[in-house]
Structure 1
Amino acid sequence: MKKNIVPIVGLILGIGLIIWSITSSGNIASFVDAPSLVITLGGSFSAILISFPLKSIKKLPSILKKLVLDPNPDYAKLIETFASLSRKARSQGILAIEEDIVEQDNELMVTGLQMVVDGLEPETVRDIMEITSENIEKRHSVGQDIFLKWGEMAPAFGMIGTLIGLVIMLGELNDPSTIGVGMATALITTFYGSFLANLIFIPIASNLQMQTNEEMKFCEMIIEGVLSLQAGENPRVIEQKLKSYMPFESKEDATKAAENLQQEEQNYG
Protein backbone atom coordinates (compact mmCIF):
# COMPACT_ATOMS: atom_id res chain seq x y z
CA MET A 1 0.00 0.00 0.00
CA LYS A 2 1.04 3.60 -0.55
CA LYS A 3 2.41 5.68 2.30
CA ASN A 4 0.24 8.39 3.80
CA ILE A 5 2.04 11.09 5.82
CA VAL A 6 -1.01 13.31 6.31
CA PRO A 7 -1.80 11.97 9.84
CA ILE A 8 1.81 12.60 10.91
CA VAL A 9 1.69 16.12 9.45
CA GLY A 10 -1.61 16.75 11.27
CA LEU A 11 -0.14 15.57 14.58
CA ILE A 12 2.97 17.72 14.22
CA LEU A 13 0.87 20.71 13.18
CA GLY A 14 -1.49 20.30 16.14
CA ILE A 15 1.36 20.02 18.65
CA GLY A 16 3.10 22.98 17.03
CA LEU A 17 0.00 25.18 17.28
CA ILE A 18 -0.48 24.31 20.95
CA ILE A 19 3.17 25.04 21.74
CA TRP A 20 2.93 28.34 19.85
CA SER A 21 -0.20 29.39 21.75
CA ILE A 22 1.53 28.61 25.05
CA THR A 23 4.81 30.35 24.30
CA SER A 24 3.10 33.42 22.83
CA SER A 25 1.55 34.34 26.17
CA GLY A 26 3.30 32.27 28.81
CA ASN A 27 6.12 29.96 29.80
CA ILE A 28 6.05 26.45 28.38
CA ALA A 29 7.95 25.16 31.42
CA SER A 30 4.85 25.77 33.53
CA PHE A 31 2.99 23.21 31.41
CA VAL A 32 5.52 20.47 32.04
CA ASP A 33 4.75 18.33 35.07
CA ALA A 34 5.91 14.73 35.27
CA PRO A 35 3.50 13.54 38.01
CA SER A 36 0.54 14.93 36.09
CA LEU A 37 1.65 13.14 32.93
CA VAL A 38 2.14 9.90 34.86
CA ILE A 39 -1.36 10.12 36.33
CA THR A 40 -3.00 10.94 32.99
CA LEU A 41 -1.10 8.70 30.58
CA GLY A 42 -0.08 5.94 32.99
CA GLY A 43 -3.44 5.82 34.71
CA SER A 44 -5.42 5.66 31.47
CA PHE A 45 -3.11 2.97 30.11
CA SER A 46 -3.64 0.96 33.30
CA ALA A 47 -7.38 1.16 32.66
CA ILE A 48 -6.78 -0.07 29.12
CA LEU A 49 -4.90 -3.08 30.53
CA ILE A 50 -7.98 -3.89 32.59
CA SER A 51 -10.41 -3.34 29.70
CA PHE A 52 -8.70 -5.41 26.97
CA PRO A 53 -6.84 -8.73 26.81
CA LEU A 54 -3.06 -8.55 26.65
CA LYS A 55 -2.95 -10.17 23.21
CA SER A 56 -4.95 -7.23 21.80
CA ILE A 57 -2.76 -4.61 23.48
CA LYS A 58 0.37 -6.28 22.09
CA LYS A 59 -0.94 -5.48 18.61
CA LEU A 60 -0.78 -1.71 19.21
CA PRO A 61 2.61 -1.21 17.48
CA SER A 62 1.41 -2.95 14.31
CA ILE A 63 -1.90 -1.08 14.50
CA LEU A 64 -0.10 2.26 14.68
CA LYS A 65 1.82 1.40 11.52
CA LYS A 66 -1.49 1.53 9.63
CA LEU A 67 -1.67 5.27 10.26
CA VAL A 68 1.02 5.90 7.65
CA LEU A 69 -0.68 3.74 5.02
CA ASP A 70 -3.05 5.07 2.37
CA PRO A 71 -6.56 3.99 3.47
CA ASN A 72 -7.82 3.80 -0.12
CA PRO A 73 -7.39 0.33 -1.67
CA ASP A 74 -6.49 -0.02 -5.34
CA TYR A 75 -10.01 -0.37 -6.73
CA ALA A 76 -8.88 -0.02 -10.34
CA LYS A 77 -6.42 -2.88 -10.01
CA LEU A 78 -9.05 -5.12 -8.43
CA ILE A 79 -11.51 -4.47 -11.27
CA GLU A 80 -8.83 -5.08 -13.85
CA THR A 81 -7.87 -8.35 -12.12
CA PHE A 82 -11.43 -9.69 -12.09
CA ALA A 83 -12.04 -8.71 -15.70
CA SER A 84 -8.84 -10.47 -16.73
CA LEU A 85 -9.73 -13.58 -14.74
CA SER A 86 -13.21 -13.59 -16.24
CA ARG A 87 -11.82 -13.39 -19.74
CA LYS A 88 -9.49 -16.29 -19.03
CA ALA A 89 -12.22 -18.38 -17.40
CA ARG A 90 -14.60 -17.86 -20.36
CA SER A 91 -11.98 -18.84 -22.91
CA GLN A 92 -10.15 -21.65 -21.09
CA GLY A 93 -12.54 -22.80 -18.38
CA ILE A 94 -12.85 -21.94 -14.70
CA LEU A 95 -10.04 -24.33 -13.70
CA ALA A 96 -7.59 -22.26 -15.74
CA ILE A 97 -7.57 -19.50 -13.10
CA GLU A 98 -6.12 -21.80 -10.44
CA GLU A 99 -2.59 -20.81 -11.37
CA ASP A 100 -3.51 -17.14 -10.84
CA ILE A 101 -4.64 -17.66 -7.25
CA VAL A 102 -1.10 -17.78 -5.89
CA GLU A 103 -0.47 -14.31 -7.34
CA GLN A 104 -3.20 -12.73 -5.19
CA ASP A 105 -2.22 -11.11 -1.89
CA ASN A 106 -5.71 -10.64 -0.42
CA GLU A 107 -6.78 -13.47 1.87
CA LEU A 108 -10.48 -13.07 1.10
CA MET A 109 -9.88 -13.15 -2.65
CA VAL A 110 -7.67 -16.23 -2.39
CA THR A 111 -10.33 -17.99 -0.31
CA GLY A 112 -13.11 -17.12 -2.74
CA LEU A 113 -11.25 -18.03 -5.92
CA GLN A 114 -10.11 -21.34 -4.46
CA MET A 115 -13.69 -22.27 -3.57
CA VAL A 116 -14.82 -21.39 -7.09
CA VAL A 117 -12.11 -23.61 -8.58
CA ASP A 118 -13.10 -26.39 -6.16
CA GLY A 119 -16.66 -26.23 -7.51
CA LEU A 120 -18.58 -25.16 -4.39
CA GLU A 121 -22.13 -23.87 -4.76
CA PRO A 122 -22.52 -20.08 -5.10
CA GLU A 123 -24.57 -19.85 -1.89
CA THR A 124 -21.83 -21.66 0.02
CA VAL A 125 -19.15 -19.44 -1.49
CA ARG A 126 -21.06 -16.30 -0.51
CA ASP A 127 -21.73 -17.50 3.05
CA ILE A 128 -18.10 -18.45 3.71
CA MET A 129 -16.75 -15.22 2.20
CA GLU A 130 -19.17 -13.08 4.20
CA ILE A 131 -18.15 -14.83 7.42
CA THR A 132 -14.48 -14.31 6.53
CA SER A 133 -15.20 -10.64 5.84
CA GLU A 134 -16.94 -10.23 9.19
CA ASN A 135 -13.96 -11.81 10.96
CA ILE A 136 -11.61 -9.40 9.19
CA GLU A 137 -13.78 -6.48 10.34
CA LYS A 138 -13.81 -7.73 13.94
CA ARG A 139 -10.05 -8.19 13.91
CA HIS A 140 -9.45 -4.69 12.59
CA SER A 141 -11.94 -3.10 14.99
CA VAL A 142 -9.82 -4.08 18.00
CA GLY A 143 -7.42 -1.17 17.50
CA GLN A 144 -10.27 1.26 17.01
CA ASP A 145 -11.96 0.10 20.22
CA ILE A 146 -8.73 0.43 22.20
CA PHE A 147 -8.07 4.01 21.13
CA LEU A 148 -11.70 5.03 21.55
CA LYS A 149 -11.65 3.73 25.10
CA TRP A 150 -8.29 5.40 25.69
CA GLY A 151 -9.80 8.65 24.46
CA GLU A 152 -12.54 8.28 27.06
CA MET A 153 -10.15 7.38 29.87
CA ALA A 154 -7.54 10.11 29.38
CA PRO A 155 -9.81 13.09 30.31
CA ALA A 156 -11.22 11.10 33.23
CA PHE A 157 -7.76 10.49 34.66
CA GLY A 158 -6.91 14.12 33.95
CA MET A 159 -9.80 15.05 36.20
CA ILE A 160 -8.61 12.55 38.82
CA GLY A 161 -5.21 14.24 38.76
CA THR A 162 -6.87 17.62 39.16
CA LEU A 163 -8.83 16.40 42.18
CA ILE A 164 -5.66 15.00 43.73
CA GLY A 165 -3.94 18.35 43.21
CA LEU A 166 -6.88 20.25 44.72
CA VAL A 167 -6.94 18.00 47.79
CA ILE A 168 -3.22 18.57 48.32
CA MET A 169 -3.63 22.32 47.78
CA LEU A 170 -6.55 22.60 50.20
CA GLY A 171 -4.52 20.78 52.81
CA GLU A 172 -1.92 23.54 52.68
CA LEU A 173 -4.16 26.62 52.90
CA ASN A 174 -2.13 27.91 55.79
CA ASP A 175 0.26 29.32 53.18
CA PRO A 176 -1.79 31.50 50.74
CA SER A 177 1.21 32.06 48.49
CA THR A 178 1.06 28.45 47.33
CA ILE A 179 -2.58 28.54 46.23
CA GLY A 180 -1.93 29.92 42.73
CA VAL A 181 0.87 27.49 42.01
CA GLY A 182 -1.11 24.61 43.44
CA MET A 183 -4.18 25.44 41.35
CA ALA A 184 -2.10 25.68 38.16
CA THR A 185 -0.46 22.32 38.86
CA ALA A 186 -3.83 20.73 39.57
CA LEU A 187 -5.27 21.93 36.25
CA ILE A 188 -2.34 20.65 34.18
CA THR A 189 -3.63 17.09 34.40
CA THR A 190 -6.95 18.20 32.89
CA PHE A 191 -4.97 19.83 30.09
CA TYR A 192 -2.99 16.63 29.51
CA GLY A 193 -6.16 14.54 29.43
CA SER A 194 -7.88 16.75 26.87
CA PHE A 195 -4.73 17.03 24.79
CA LEU A 196 -4.13 13.27 24.61
CA ALA A 197 -7.77 12.45 23.94
CA ASN A 198 -8.56 15.05 21.28
CA LEU A 199 -5.28 15.24 19.38
CA ILE A 200 -4.02 11.67 19.63
CA PHE A 201 -6.33 8.89 20.79
CA ILE A 202 -9.70 9.85 19.26
CA PRO A 203 -8.20 10.95 15.90
CA ILE A 204 -6.30 7.63 15.71
CA ALA A 205 -9.54 5.74 16.37
CA SER A 206 -11.31 7.74 13.64
CA ASN A 207 -8.49 7.02 11.19
CA LEU A 208 -8.66 3.28 11.92
CA GLN A 209 -12.45 3.33 11.53
CA MET A 210 -12.12 4.97 8.11
CA GLN A 211 -9.59 2.37 7.03
CA THR A 212 -11.86 -0.43 8.24
CA ASN A 213 -14.81 1.01 6.29
CA GLU A 214 -12.71 1.20 3.12
CA GLU A 215 -11.53 -2.37 3.56
CA MET A 216 -15.06 -3.63 4.10
CA LYS A 217 -16.14 -1.94 0.86
CA PHE A 218 -13.18 -3.63 -0.81
CA CYS A 219 -14.31 -6.97 0.63
CA GLU A 220 -17.81 -6.44 -0.75
CA MET A 221 -16.32 -5.82 -4.19
CA ILE A 222 -14.27 -9.02 -3.92
CA ILE A 223 -17.30 -11.09 -2.94
CA GLU A 224 -19.33 -9.67 -5.83
CA GLY A 225 -16.44 -10.18 -8.23
CA VAL A 226 -15.91 -13.82 -7.21
CA LEU A 227 -19.61 -14.65 -7.54
CA SER A 228 -19.84 -12.89 -10.91
CA LEU A 229 -16.77 -14.79 -12.08
CA GLN A 230 -18.31 -18.07 -10.95
CA ALA A 231 -21.54 -17.20 -12.80
CA GLY A 232 -19.58 -16.73 -16.02
CA GLU A 233 -20.61 -13.12 -16.52
CA ASN A 234 -19.09 -11.00 -19.27
CA PRO A 235 -15.93 -9.10 -18.24
CA ARG A 236 -17.65 -5.83 -19.17
CA VAL A 237 -20.59 -6.62 -16.90
CA ILE A 238 -18.24 -7.45 -14.02
CA GLU A 239 -16.35 -4.25 -14.61
CA GLN A 240 -19.49 -2.07 -14.52
CA LYS A 241 -20.87 -3.91 -11.51
CA LEU A 242 -17.70 -3.43 -9.48
CA LYS A 243 -17.33 0.21 -10.53
CA SER A 244 -20.67 0.92 -8.86
CA TYR A 245 -18.99 0.27 -5.48
CA MET A 246 -16.29 2.85 -6.06
CA PRO A 247 -16.18 6.42 -4.77
CA PHE A 248 -16.67 8.96 -7.53
CA GLU A 249 -13.09 10.25 -7.48
CA SER A 250 -11.71 6.74 -8.07
CA LYS A 251 -13.79 5.96 -11.15
CA GLU A 252 -11.47 7.89 -13.45
CA ASP A 253 -8.62 5.57 -12.49
CA ALA A 254 -10.84 2.57 -13.08
CA THR A 255 -11.82 3.91 -16.50
CA LYS A 256 -8.18 4.21 -17.47
CA ALA A 257 -7.58 0.67 -16.27
CA ALA A 258 -10.55 -0.52 -18.35
CA GLU A 259 -9.10 1.15 -21.43
CA ASN A 260 -5.85 -0.69 -20.84
CA LEU A 261 -7.77 -3.92 -20.42
CA GLN A 262 -9.67 -3.32 -23.68
CA GLN A 263 -6.37 -2.86 -25.48
CA GLU A 264 -5.12 -6.11 -23.98
CA GLU A 265 -8.28 -7.90 -25.14
CA GLN A 266 -7.78 -6.62 -28.67
CA ASN A 267 -4.18 -7.79 -28.64
CA TYR A 268 -5.27 -11.10 -27.18
CA GLY A 269 -7.92 -11.47 -29.86
Structure 2
Amino acid sequence: MKKSYTTVLALAFGFILIFWAISIDGSVTSFINVPSIAITVFGSFAAVVISFPFDKIKNAPIVLKNLVTKNDNNKQELVETIVSLSRLSRSQGLLALDAEIEGIENTFLAESMKMVVDGMDADNIREILETKIDNMEDRHYIGQEIFLKWGELAPGFGMLGTLIGLINLLGSLTDPSTIGGGMAVALLTTFYGSLLANLIFLPIAQNLKTRTEAEVNTNEMIMEGALAIQAGKNPRVIEQKLESYLEGGRLKEKPEATVASEEREYV
Protein backbone atom coordinates (compact mmCIF):
# COMPACT_ATOMS: atom_id res chain seq x y z
CA MET A 1 0.00 0.00 0.00
CA LYS A 2 1.14 3.56 -0.63
CA LYS A 3 0.23 7.07 0.42
CA SER A 4 -0.94 9.52 -2.20
CA TYR A 5 -0.05 13.21 -1.96
CA THR A 6 -1.59 14.09 -5.31
CA THR A 7 -4.30 16.17 -3.61
CA VAL A 8 -1.80 18.38 -1.78
CA LEU A 9 0.37 18.81 -4.87
CA ALA A 10 -2.62 19.72 -7.05
CA LEU A 11 -3.85 22.23 -4.45
CA ALA A 12 -0.41 23.83 -4.22
CA PHE A 13 -0.19 24.01 -8.02
CA GLY A 14 -3.60 25.70 -8.16
CA PHE A 15 -2.57 28.41 -5.69
CA ILE A 16 0.77 28.93 -7.44
CA LEU A 17 -1.06 29.35 -10.76
CA ILE A 18 -3.40 31.96 -9.27
CA PHE A 19 -0.57 33.88 -7.59
CA TRP A 20 1.34 33.83 -10.87
CA ALA A 21 -1.66 35.21 -12.77
CA ILE A 22 -2.11 37.98 -10.18
CA SER A 23 1.55 38.98 -10.14
CA ILE A 24 1.79 39.38 -13.93
CA ASP A 25 -0.15 42.67 -14.05
CA GLY A 26 -0.68 43.48 -10.38
CA SER A 27 0.42 43.01 -6.82
CA VAL A 28 -0.42 40.02 -4.64
CA THR A 29 -0.76 42.30 -1.62
CA SER A 30 -3.63 44.15 -3.31
CA PHE A 31 -5.60 40.89 -3.15
CA ILE A 32 -5.21 40.58 0.61
CA ASN A 33 -7.97 42.09 2.72
CA VAL A 34 -8.59 40.73 6.22
CA PRO A 35 -12.27 41.80 6.56
CA SER A 36 -13.07 40.20 3.21
CA ILE A 37 -11.37 36.95 4.26
CA ALA A 38 -13.21 36.98 7.58
CA ILE A 39 -16.63 37.45 5.97
CA THR A 40 -16.08 34.76 3.36
CA VAL A 41 -14.34 32.09 5.44
CA PHE A 42 -15.86 32.50 8.89
CA GLY A 43 -19.27 33.61 7.65
CA SER A 44 -19.65 30.54 5.43
CA PHE A 45 -18.26 28.33 8.22
CA ALA A 46 -20.90 29.69 10.59
CA ALA A 47 -23.58 28.75 8.08
CA VAL A 48 -22.07 25.24 7.78
CA VAL A 49 -22.18 24.85 11.58
CA ILE A 50 -25.85 25.82 11.49
CA SER A 51 -26.49 23.28 8.72
CA PHE A 52 -24.96 20.22 10.47
CA PRO A 53 -24.81 18.88 14.05
CA PHE A 54 -21.55 19.91 15.71
CA ASP A 55 -20.55 16.29 16.42
CA LYS A 56 -20.39 15.85 12.64
CA ILE A 57 -18.54 19.12 12.06
CA LYS A 58 -15.76 18.25 14.52
CA ASN A 59 -14.87 15.20 12.41
CA ALA A 60 -14.01 17.39 9.40
CA PRO A 61 -10.30 17.71 10.35
CA ILE A 62 -10.06 13.90 10.53
CA VAL A 63 -11.60 13.69 7.06
CA LEU A 64 -9.03 16.16 5.74
CA LYS A 65 -6.20 14.24 7.37
CA ASN A 66 -7.36 10.97 5.80
CA LEU A 67 -7.59 12.72 2.45
CA VAL A 68 -3.84 13.32 2.56
CA THR A 69 -2.35 10.54 4.66
CA LYS A 70 -4.66 7.54 4.27
CA ASN A 71 -3.10 4.63 2.43
CA ASP A 72 -4.35 3.88 -1.06
CA ASN A 73 -5.24 0.21 -1.37
CA ASN A 74 -3.63 -1.61 -4.27
CA LYS A 75 -6.46 -3.87 -5.41
CA GLN A 76 -4.20 -6.16 -7.37
CA GLU A 77 -2.04 -6.77 -4.29
CA LEU A 78 -5.19 -7.51 -2.30
CA VAL A 79 -6.33 -10.02 -4.92
CA GLU A 80 -2.95 -11.72 -4.78
CA THR A 81 -3.12 -11.82 -0.98
CA ILE A 82 -6.61 -13.34 -0.99
CA VAL A 83 -5.63 -15.94 -3.58
CA SER A 84 -2.54 -16.80 -1.53
CA LEU A 85 -4.72 -17.24 1.57
CA SER A 86 -7.11 -19.45 -0.38
CA ARG A 87 -4.25 -21.70 -1.47
CA LEU A 88 -3.06 -21.99 2.13
CA SER A 89 -6.59 -22.78 3.27
CA ARG A 90 -7.06 -25.50 0.66
CA SER A 91 -3.75 -27.17 1.48
CA GLN A 92 -3.63 -26.81 5.29
CA GLY A 93 -7.15 -25.93 6.39
CA LEU A 94 -8.85 -22.73 7.58
CA LEU A 95 -7.07 -22.75 10.94
CA ALA A 96 -3.75 -22.27 9.14
CA LEU A 97 -4.92 -18.77 8.21
CA ASP A 98 -4.86 -17.66 11.84
CA ALA A 99 -1.08 -17.20 11.79
CA GLU A 100 -1.31 -15.05 8.63
CA ILE A 101 -3.90 -12.55 9.90
CA GLU A 102 -1.46 -10.44 11.93
CA GLY A 103 0.58 -9.75 8.81
CA ILE A 104 -2.40 -8.40 6.83
CA GLU A 105 -2.23 -4.60 6.59
CA ASN A 106 -5.77 -4.09 5.30
CA THR A 107 -8.02 -3.92 8.39
CA PHE A 108 -11.18 -4.98 6.55
CA LEU A 109 -9.47 -8.06 5.09
CA ALA A 110 -7.99 -8.99 8.47
CA GLU A 111 -11.41 -8.74 10.16
CA SER A 112 -12.99 -10.77 7.38
CA MET A 113 -10.44 -13.55 7.72
CA LYS A 114 -10.84 -13.63 11.50
CA MET A 115 -14.54 -14.37 11.05
CA VAL A 116 -13.71 -17.10 8.53
CA VAL A 117 -11.18 -18.70 10.87
CA ASP A 118 -13.66 -18.50 13.77
CA GLY A 119 -16.03 -20.67 11.74
CA MET A 120 -18.87 -18.17 11.43
CA ASP A 121 -21.75 -18.95 9.10
CA ALA A 122 -21.46 -17.46 5.60
CA ASP A 123 -24.75 -15.53 5.94
CA ASN A 124 -23.59 -13.98 9.21
CA ILE A 125 -20.24 -13.02 7.72
CA ARG A 126 -21.94 -11.35 4.76
CA GLU A 127 -24.42 -9.53 7.00
CA ILE A 128 -21.69 -8.20 9.32
CA LEU A 129 -19.39 -7.11 6.49
CA GLU A 130 -22.20 -5.43 4.56
CA THR A 131 -23.13 -3.53 7.72
CA LYS A 132 -19.52 -2.40 8.12
CA ILE A 133 -19.46 -1.22 4.51
CA ASP A 134 -22.75 0.67 4.95
CA ASN A 135 -21.52 2.36 8.15
CA MET A 136 -18.27 3.37 6.49
CA GLU A 137 -20.18 4.82 3.56
CA ASP A 138 -22.44 6.81 5.90
CA ARG A 139 -19.44 8.28 7.76
CA HIS A 140 -17.79 9.34 4.54
CA TYR A 141 -21.07 10.74 3.21
CA ILE A 142 -21.25 13.25 6.05
CA GLY A 143 -17.77 14.53 5.19
CA GLN A 144 -18.75 14.89 1.55
CA GLU A 145 -21.90 16.81 2.45
CA ILE A 146 -20.06 19.21 4.76
CA PHE A 147 -17.56 20.30 2.11
CA LEU A 148 -20.20 20.29 -0.63
CA LYS A 149 -22.38 22.63 1.44
CA TRP A 150 -19.38 24.81 2.29
CA GLY A 151 -18.60 25.05 -1.41
CA GLU A 152 -22.17 26.15 -2.09
CA LEU A 153 -22.17 28.77 0.68
CA ALA A 154 -18.75 30.38 0.13
CA PRO A 155 -19.64 32.22 -3.13
CA GLY A 156 -22.84 33.49 -1.52
CA PHE A 157 -20.94 34.99 1.39
CA GLY A 158 -18.44 36.40 -1.09
CA MET A 159 -21.27 38.21 -2.82
CA LEU A 160 -22.64 39.32 0.56
CA GLY A 161 -19.25 40.85 1.40
CA THR A 162 -19.21 42.62 -1.94
CA LEU A 163 -22.64 44.11 -1.27
CA ILE A 164 -21.51 45.30 2.16
CA GLY A 165 -18.45 46.92 0.60
CA LEU A 166 -20.51 48.61 -2.11
CA ILE A 167 -23.04 49.95 0.38
CA ASN A 168 -20.28 51.38 2.57
CA LEU A 169 -18.56 52.82 -0.51
CA LEU A 170 -21.64 54.55 -1.91
CA GLY A 171 -22.80 55.71 1.50
CA SER A 172 -19.60 57.61 2.18
CA LEU A 173 -18.84 58.66 -1.40
CA THR A 174 -17.53 62.23 -1.58
CA ASP A 175 -14.77 61.91 -4.17
CA PRO A 176 -15.60 60.09 -7.44
CA SER A 177 -11.91 59.29 -7.92
CA THR A 178 -12.06 56.82 -5.00
CA ILE A 179 -14.67 54.62 -6.67
CA GLY A 180 -12.09 52.44 -8.47
CA GLY A 181 -10.16 51.52 -5.34
CA GLY A 182 -13.32 51.02 -3.32
CA MET A 183 -14.85 48.76 -5.95
CA ALA A 184 -11.67 46.67 -6.08
CA VAL A 185 -11.78 46.09 -2.33
CA ALA A 186 -15.50 45.32 -2.43
CA LEU A 187 -15.03 42.70 -5.14
CA LEU A 188 -12.35 40.85 -3.16
CA THR A 189 -14.91 38.88 -1.16
CA THR A 190 -16.44 37.58 -4.40
CA PHE A 191 -12.94 36.54 -5.46
CA TYR A 192 -12.35 34.74 -2.15
CA GLY A 193 -15.70 32.95 -2.31
CA SER A 194 -15.11 31.71 -5.84
CA LEU A 195 -11.55 30.65 -5.00
CA LEU A 196 -12.51 28.69 -1.89
CA ALA A 197 -15.45 26.98 -3.57
CA ASN A 198 -13.78 25.99 -6.84
CA LEU A 199 -10.25 25.20 -5.68
CA ILE A 200 -10.81 23.80 -2.18
CA PHE A 201 -14.28 22.86 -0.96
CA LEU A 202 -16.01 21.41 -4.05
CA PRO A 203 -12.92 19.47 -5.23
CA ILE A 204 -12.49 18.02 -1.72
CA ALA A 205 -16.14 16.92 -1.71
CA GLN A 206 -15.71 15.23 -5.11
CA ASN A 207 -12.46 13.60 -3.98
CA LEU A 208 -14.16 12.18 -0.90
CA LYS A 209 -17.00 10.84 -3.03
CA THR A 210 -14.60 9.15 -5.45
CA ARG A 211 -12.53 7.64 -2.61
CA THR A 212 -15.67 6.35 -0.90
CA GLU A 213 -16.86 4.63 -4.07
CA ALA A 214 -13.42 3.06 -4.55
CA GLU A 215 -13.25 1.87 -0.93
CA VAL A 216 -16.75 0.39 -1.10
CA ASN A 217 -15.79 -1.49 -4.26
CA THR A 218 -12.56 -2.75 -2.67
CA ASN A 219 -14.34 -3.91 0.49
CA GLU A 220 -17.00 -5.69 -1.54
CA MET A 221 -14.21 -7.49 -3.41
CA ILE A 222 -12.62 -8.50 -0.09
CA MET A 223 -15.97 -9.74 1.21
CA GLU A 224 -16.52 -11.93 -1.84
CA GLY A 225 -12.99 -13.30 -1.53
CA ALA A 226 -13.42 -14.12 2.17
CA LEU A 227 -16.75 -15.85 1.52
CA ALA A 228 -15.19 -17.85 -1.32
CA ILE A 229 -12.39 -19.01 0.99
CA GLN A 230 -14.96 -19.90 3.64
CA ALA A 231 -16.82 -21.97 1.04
CA GLY A 232 -13.60 -23.77 0.08
CA LYS A 233 -13.66 -22.74 -3.57
CA ASN A 234 -10.79 -23.44 -5.94
CA PRO A 235 -8.12 -20.69 -5.74
CA ARG A 236 -8.18 -20.33 -9.52
CA VAL A 237 -11.93 -19.74 -9.41
CA ILE A 238 -11.46 -17.15 -6.65
CA GLU A 239 -8.73 -15.41 -8.62
CA GLN A 240 -10.84 -15.19 -11.77
CA LYS A 241 -13.84 -13.91 -9.80
CA LEU A 242 -11.86 -11.19 -8.03
CA GLU A 243 -10.18 -10.08 -11.24
CA SER A 244 -13.54 -8.66 -12.31
CA TYR A 245 -13.05 -5.97 -9.64
CA LEU A 246 -9.75 -4.83 -11.08
CA GLU A 247 -9.87 -1.71 -13.22
CA GLY A 248 -6.35 -1.97 -14.57
CA GLY A 249 -6.58 -5.37 -16.21
CA ARG A 250 -5.82 -8.90 -15.13
CA LEU A 251 -3.19 -10.27 -12.84
CA LYS A 252 0.01 -11.55 -14.35
CA GLU A 253 -0.70 -14.74 -16.18
CA LYS A 254 0.99 -17.87 -14.84
CA PRO A 255 2.63 -20.35 -17.20
CA GLU A 256 0.17 -22.93 -18.53
CA ALA A 257 2.05 -25.75 -16.81
CA THR A 258 1.67 -23.99 -13.45
CA VAL A 259 -2.04 -23.42 -13.98
CA ALA A 260 -2.61 -27.06 -14.93
CA SER A 261 -0.66 -28.19 -11.88
CA GLU A 262 -2.75 -26.00 -9.58
CA GLU A 263 -6.00 -27.26 -11.06
CA ARG A 264 -4.96 -30.87 -10.50
CA GLU A 265 -3.93 -30.05 -6.94
CA TYR A 266 -7.15 -28.35 -5.90
CA VAL A 267 -9.74 -30.41 -7.75
Q: Is TM > 0.5 for Structure 1 vs Structure 2?
A: yes
Residues of 1 paired with 2:26 and 2:109: CA distance?
57
The Cα offsets for residues 172-225 of structure 1, whole Å up to 9 and x where unpaired, read as 233323322222111110000000110111111222222111111110111110
CA displacement, residues 109-136 of structure 1 (integer Å, 9 cap, x when unaligned) = 2332232223332222212111111111
Say whether the 8 Å CA contact 1:71–1:214 is kept in structure 2: no
Match of 1:199 in 2: 199
**Contact kept? 1:71, 1:210, Cα under 8 Å:** no
Q: Deviations over 1:22-59 (max 9, x none)?
A: 22122322211110000001111112222233333333
1: CA distance between counterparts of 2:119 and 2:70? 36
Q: Which residue of 2 aligns with 1:243?
A: 243
Q: What is the identity, as a one-letter code, of the residue corresponding to 2:252?
A: T
In the other structure, the counterpart of 2:166 is: 166
Distance 1:4 1:132 in 2: 24
Looking at structure 2, the residues matched to 226 and 196 of structure 1 have their Cα atoms a distance apart, in angstroms, of: 43
Q: CA deviation at 1:142?
A: 2.7
Deviations 1:214-242 (A, max 9, x none): 11111011111011111111111111111
Does the 8 A contact of 1:89 with 1:97 survive in 2? yes
Q: Which segments of 5 or more consecutive residues in structure 2 lack a partner in the other structure?
A: none
Instruction: Give the root-mean-square deviation of aligned CA atoms.
Output: 2.4
8 Å CA contact 2:147–2:205 kept in 1: the answer is yes
Q: CA deviation at 1:15?
A: 1.3
CA contact (8 A) 1:87 1:235 kept: yes
Letter in 1 for 2:40: T
**TM-score normalised to structure 2 length:** 0.87
Residue in structure 2 matched with residue 24 of structure 1 by the alignment: 24
Partner of 2:68: 68
SS in 1 for 2:233: coil
- 1:186-265 to 2 correspondences below 5 Å: 186-248=186-248, 251=250, 254-255=251-252
Q: Contact 2:225 / 2:242 at 8 angstroms: preserved in 1? A: yes
Q: What is the total number of aligned residue pairs between the two structures?
A: 260
Deviation at residue 96 of structure 1 after TM alignment: 2.5
Residues of 1 paired with 2:3 and 2:123: CA distance? 37
* SS of structure 1 residue aligned to 2:25: coil
Q: Give % identity.
A: 50
Moved more, 100-109 or 64-73: 64-73
**Residues in 2 aligned to 1:72 and 1:214: alpha-carbon distance in whole angstroms:** 10
The unaligned stretches of length 5 or more in structure 1 are none
Q: 2: distance between equivalents of 1:148 and 1:71?
A: 23
Alignment of 1:1-269 (within 5 A): 1-69=1-69, 72-248=72-248, 251=250, 254-255=251-252
Cα pair distance change 1:99/1:89, threshold 3 Å: same
Task: Give the Cα separation in 2 of the matches to 1:66 and 1:233.
Answer: 36
Q: Once the 2 structures are TM-superposed, how far is the Cα of residue 72 of structure 1 from its aligned partner? A: 4.4
Report the Cα distance in structure 1 between the residues aligned to 2:14 and 2:135, rounded to whole angstroms.
35
